[in-house]
Amino acid sequence: MKPEGAFYLYISCAGVIGKTTPQGKKITTDNDFALYLLENAGIAAVSGDSFGLSPYIRISYAIETTLLRDACCRIQKAVQALG
């Protein structure tokens, strides 16, 4: 029987609040960060604010390990690009 449900991580993004994107936009909320990840790294995340958990983002990890590793690398690269 296949498991039914989802698996999520809530990741603090407090360290990026106040940083500036390469496009010059300031990240002021977890929602800003989730949108930045989507637009710049192709990562779909949900702001923790949607669940009363700000400043966190929620990502699912119910994917193949190779895809998860790639996603983590893209998140790391996007964070490193912040000023």
pLDDT tens per residue, range 56-75: 999 998 888 999 999 999 99
Give the predicted TM-score (pTM) of the model: 0.89
**Does residue 5 have a pLDDT over 80?**
no
Q: Are strands 56-60 and 46-47 parallel, antiparallel or unpaired?
A: antiparallel
Per the structure, the count of domains in the chain is 1
What is the 3-state secondary structure of 10-55? EEECHHHCCCECCCCCECCCHHHHHHHHHHHHCCCCEEHHHHCCCC
Domain ranges, residue 36:
8-80
Within-domain flag for 2:
no
Residue 65 within a domain: yes
Task: Give the pairing type, strands 8-12 and 56-60.
Answer: antiparallel
Residue 42 has what pLDDT?
A: 96
Per-residue pLDDT, 1: 65
Q: CATH number for the domain including 19?
A: 3.90.1150.10
For 62, what's the count of Cα atoms within 13 Å in the CB-facing half-sphere? Answer: 9
Q: Report, in angstroms and rounded to the nearest whole number, the Rg of the chain calculated over CA atoms.
A: 13
Model pLDDT for residues 10-45, shown as the tens digit of each residue:
999 999 999 999 999 999 999 999 999 999 999 999
